[in-house]
Amino acid sequence: MRMDPVRALASIREELDRRGHNRVRIVVVTKTHGPELIETLLKAGHREFGENRFTEARAKFALVHAQAIQPIYHHLGPLQSGFARNLPGLFHVVHGVSSASALESLLKAARRHFEATGEGMQYLMQLNLTAESSKLGGMSEEQFLQCRESLPSEEALTWRGFMTMGPTDQDAKRTSEVFRRLRQIRDEHLPDGELSMGMSGDWQLAVEEGATIVRIGTAITGTRAGGPWMPESG
Ligand SMILES: *Cc1c(COP(=O)(O)O)cnc(C)c1O
């Protein structure tokens, strides 16, 4: 399906405003699409973009020509220890932290990056509250409670909130319950923290439950290609 991403984004923005959620941030998920999509949206005044593969993002961001607006890049999807050290300098916000060892690697790299550049990063803890075992990542509430006291938060790497994904079957009632539970956890543990929840199929439910960041791909970009974007294919 061909879409005009600038118009699709504008109509989601309008719907958010109409529903009284004008402060909700939209991260446009550009995975599998080329650098020109990011450029087009930057030119239209949009700043925040999400990607889930490090190698794809590194090649792509290098080809995005500088615009008047500086992008903010969000890393989505499970953070793996092996890749965590590569993220500083490329990404500004990391949404998928659900392992202590990956967080440890990210912290070391973020400190080095901060010493060299003065630029800090932010991260969100990813919880899986669906009772599904999932390759999409996320720790259980119990696991979160166990590591909660030792979560780092400093200038180089600030803990800024929580992220979750709804149930895969997208059942509306259960999806809302999952989002509501994440909000309760946020209220208890980091009251002014961000809530990254809601994608193309469930962002309306997420904002009703208090999402502060929605991550929207296909509803803005149209269907995704089968695999990652590569420079030679772009
Ligand atoms: C791909 C992806 C999205 C966007 O999904 P859509 O259904 O295309 O909106 C959001 N969050 C994460 C973690 C993703 O991997």
**Within 6 Å (CB) of ligand 1, which residues are found?**
29, 31, 52, 76-77, 199-201, 215-219
Say if CB 94 and CB 124 are below 8 A apart: yes
pTM metric for this prediction:
0.96
Task: Categorize the per-residue pLDDT at 226 as very low, low, confident or very high, splitting at 50, 70 and 90.
Answer: confident
Domain 5-221 has CATH 1.10.40.30: no
Tell me the mean pLDDT in the region 114-139. 93
Q: Which stretches within 19-152 are classed as H helix?
A: 35-43, 54-62, 81-84, 100-117, 141-147
Find the 77 Cα to ligand 1 centroid distance in Å. 9
Nearest-atom number in ligand 1 for the CA of 201 is 7
> Quick one: residue 137, left, alpha or beta (phi over 0 = left, psi -120 to 50 = alpha)?
left
Task: For residues 72 and 201, give the distance between their C-alpha atoms in angstroms, rounded to a whole number.
Answer: 23
What's the confidence (pLDDT) of residue 234? 47
pLDDT tens column, 56-88: 999 999 999 998 999 999 999 899 999 999 999
Every domain of the chain and the residues it spans:
5-221
pLDDT tens column, 164-215: 999 999 899 999 999 999 999 999 999 999 999 999 999 999 999 999 999 9
Give, in order, the Cα–Cα distances in Å from 125 to each of 32, 153, 159, 199: 25, 12, 8, 17
